[in-house]
Structure 1
Amino acid sequence: MSNWSWDYNPSEEYITDGLPVGVVAEVERIVTELAALGPDSVRVGRPLDREGGLREFDILGGRGFVSFLPVPRNECVYVCNITWYGLGEDQ
């Protein structure tokens, strides 16, 4: 288990505004798992050909994606953006 945490950047209100509750819950579940990976989170998601930097990970079967930034020096995974295509809004 890792000592890493996660947070929204710039803020939860800014990033989650207007998103269905189920989408936000799924993103928070995913970033909790990314934080548990600790320093290995720099290799998860896209781009596949390099480590670090802003990463992307599909959510809810490709109906959107989360952009996140793992920062080893802060031991934190920052959620920077959530893109939701609005399909299956019953989430």
Structure 2
Amino acid sequence: MTDWSWDYNPSAEYVAGGLPPGVVAEVERLAGELAVLGHDSVRVGRPLDREGGLREFDLLGGRGFISFLPVPRHECVYVCHVTWYG
């Protein structure tokens, strides 16, 4: 278990505004799981050939994806964008 947290960047309204409640719940669940990984979150998702930087992770079986930025210095995973195909 780590002391990492997660947050929306720049805000929850900007990133998740207008998404169905079930999608928002899944985004927040995944963000919590990424925060539990702590520093290892820099290697999760795409791109597969390097670690760090803005990363992507599939959402609800490929019906969308989240873009997130793990920042070890802040001990935080920032959810930056959600793409939902519906």
Instruction: Give the TM-score category using the shorter length.
Output: over 0.9
- CA-to-partner distance for each residue in 1:6-58, whole Å, 9 max, x for gaps? 00000001111110000000010001000000000000000000000000000
Structure 1: how far apart are the matches of 2:50 and 2:41? 12
TM-score normalised according to structure 2 size: 0.99
| RMSD, aligned α-carbons | 0.3
Query: Could you list the runs of 4 or more consecutive aligned residues of structure 1 that deviate by over 4 angstroms after TM superposition?
Result: none
Aligned residues: 86
Q: Structure 2 stretches of 5 or more lacking a match?
A: none
Query: Share of identical aligned residues, percent?
Result: 80
Q: In the alignment, which residue of structure 1 is the partner of 2:15?
A: 15
1:89 equivalent in structure 2: none
Normalised TM-score (structure 1): 0.94
Which runs of no fewer than 5 residues in structure 1 stay unpaired?
87-91
Which structure: larger Rg? 1
